[in-house]
Structure 1
Amino acid sequence: MIKERELRVLSALDTPKGRQELADELNYREGTVSDALNDLAQRDLINKERAGNRIIAKPGDARCVEVFQSLTKSNPHIDFPDLLTPSLLNILYYLSSDKGWTATELAEQTGHARATIYRGLRTLTNRAMAVKQHSQYRLTEAFNELHVFAYELQHHTHRTQIKQDIGSGTIVWESHEEFLVRTETEVEQSDYHRTGLDAFAEHGLQFFTTSEHYYFYSAERESLRPEDLFCHLLLIENDSRHRKYALLLAAKTNLSPEHLKAAADEYGLTEIVNPLVEFLQTEGKKSSEATPRWDEFETLADEYEVEL
């Protein structure tokens, strides 16, 4: 997570500056500034260029840098580097002016203790950056950029990690700590779990696949559950063919409706997954535009030796 000193240097880079200039402005030692610049450069948040014997730092073109500098220019009286602690940035990743959250919901999402959540929310409400209405908190419109910055910073962090770990890839889905990436590179690192149709082979379902690979990054999970694979496939491509393959996996692994619906909530797929669950539960009696005909699905299941 980005540190206070890095945020102070980023805030000071309203124009390109050298190390000594930043040290004088921030009252830091040159070594401290140098360490901060190296960290920011490693995160692709700044660019460093040589001008004679000097190294000049410039803000990068990442969206999060643009938003952060907009915040600091619009609110010069607020010490954002001191305010934006790692735990508060985690809260702000979810908290916006568009949706209200209870402290309990934020604790569940972030993994922080409720005391930490209440402390962060109190900081925001005391500064009139957030309001509380009927036990729900939301940011004020004037400070919604705090949410945008926290979200864009984490998105940029994921992109930088992909660049460093596997070279290139496209993010298909992400949360604060995890992401689903499409890449043409085979990945062997333990935190990258193979997903998509390639991973269905682990459950006895072999499909023709393209040269693209899909991986789910998670430092916490040791493996992916069938319900994860089900949801990942719909995140990758929610068309009739992929929905049928997802249904085959659910039938093959005897996925419980409860586990599948819980996973759908986690990935933001509730409206897509619920009709598919009902289709399986009722053996096609409850169908929708998103589901195949039951006889068509039976034929497909027979082809792949899946008992319904």
Structure 2
Amino acid sequence: MITKAGLAVLDALSTGREATPEELAAETGYSREHLYEVLDELLAAGLLAEARGPSNHRRVRAAEHPVTEAYRTLQSEFSHVNWTELLSPAALRVCWYLDRPRHIAEIADRLRITRQGVHSALSPLKHRALLSRSDPEYTLRDEVSPLLALARTVVQHEHRSRVREIAPSATIVWCDPRRALVRVQTAEDTDALQAAPDWEMTGLGRFAEYGLQFFLAGEPPFWYAPDEKLTPAEIVCHTLLLDSGSRRVSYSILLIETLDIDQETLTETAQWYDLEPTVDALYRPLQGDFDRTDNLPVSLPNKAEYMALKEQYGVP
């Protein structure tokens, strides 16, 4: 995650200027030694570009990068706000969740931090009236949508950088500050992620673990969620995120029935992926309702198709 010092550097360079490390140290208040470390990190991440001036003096500028562009947009639209004082890595993680009203406890649970930690991260934003509050929920005000865009961009950049160190062909399908669902394009990258700590195969490739072996076209997806158990409910949601075609929907229903996944549990998980209407639809066939298919977010199997699928895989 980009640090407060990194944000201070991006802020100083947001107008498109070039600057030396010495100039940035004087402007930001950080020591030269620390600034050199920060600049090296930002250069390695692709957020800065470097040039050499007279006498080989080092000069840097903001590179064309989604994070620098998102920060430049935020800074230009709210130039009267000192974002380097308000924002921290923790604040950006919390802001990721504030696209809609959220309970503090809910955010704390997702981030695996205390409620006080969430309050502390949000405190500077509260004082600048950047949040809407309806006890006990918070959300970002609509007019500061560039802040949400920055938080989302920074989080996605962090996940992309992490996975591409292991699997260069990986792309992010979905992420939040602690978790990421990725696709890969090569068998080599599949092998690399299978051998890497904190990464697990998910989606359709994981169904075989429950006695449902399906043909996989291409490489399987992978899930990053350190210190968390990959649940069947997550696997269903990942499958639907990656492909909501009729065959994947049928396979998902089959897994739900095979493992007797509780609807309330799956719906609770699906809210993080904006899949609640889809999950609700998936339980219709399981409740014997194969006929009402109007206004559904996915195409459900008819009764004959689903019964044939159950028989094929020996699901009672």
TM-score, normalised to structure 2, is: 0.86
Once the two structures are TM-superposed, the CA of residue 304 in structure 1 deviates from its matched residue by 1.7
Once the two structures are TM-superposed, the CA of residue 215 in structure 1 deviates from its matched residue by 0.5
CA contact (8 A) 1:43 1:157 kept: no
CA contact (8 A) 1:234 1:243 kept: yes
List aligned pairs for 1:254-265, cutoff 5 A: 254-265=260-271
1:155 is paired with a residue of what secondary structure?
helix
Once the two structures are TM-superposed, the CA of residue 105 in structure 1 deviates from its matched residue by 4.1
The residue that corresponds to 1:172 in the other structure is 173
TM-score, normalised to structure 1, is: 0.88
CA contact (8 A) 1:130 1:139 kept: yes
Structure 1: any 5+ residue segments left out of the alignment? none
* Corresponding residue pairs, total: 303
CA distance in 2, matches of 1:259, 1:137: 24
Structure 2: any 5+ residue segments left out of the alignment? none
Letter in 2 for 1:92: C
Match of 1:230 among 217, 230, 236: 236
Once the two structures are TM-superposed, the CA of residue 263 in structure 1 deviates from its matched residue by 2.3
2:169 is paired with a residue of what secondary structure?
coil
Q: Cα gap change, 1:304/1:146 in structure 2, threshold over 3 Å: closer, same or farther?
A: same
CA distance in 2, matches of 1:262, 1:44: 37
1:213 is paired with a residue of what secondary structure?
coil
Match of 2:42 among 28, 40, 43: 40
The CA deviation string for residues 157-187 of structure 1, in whole angstroms up to 9 with x for no partner, is 1111122121121211222211111102212
Once the two structures are TM-superposed, the CA of residue 306 in structure 1 deviates from its matched residue by 1.7
Letter in 2 for 1:199: R
Once the two structures are TM-superposed, the CA of residue 102 in structure 1 deviates from its matched residue by 4.1
Q: Cα gap change, 1:230/1:34 in structure 2, threshold over 3 Å: closer, same or farther?
A: same
1:271 corresponds to 2:277: yes
CA distance in 1, matches of 2:35, 2:8: 10
Once the two structures are TM-superposed, the CA of residue 230 in structure 1 deviates from its matched residue by 1.4
Letter in 1 for 2:62: P
Q: Cα gap change, 1:80/1:287 in structure 2, threshold over 3 Å: closer, same or farther?
A: same
Q: Cα gap change, 1:218/1:111 in structure 2, threshold over 3 Å: closer, same or farther?
A: closer
The residue that corresponds to 2:6 in the other structure is 6
Letter in 2 for 1:250: I
1:167 is paired with a residue of what secondary structure?
coil
Alignment identity in percent? 28
The residue that corresponds to 2:182 in the other structure is 181
The residue that corresponds to 2:251 in the other structure is 245
The residue that corresponds to 1:22 in the other structure is 24
Once the two structures are TM-superposed, the CA of residue 240 in structure 1 deviates from its matched residue by 0.6
The residue that corresponds to 2:144 in the other structure is 143
CA contact (8 A) 1:173 1:179 kept: yes
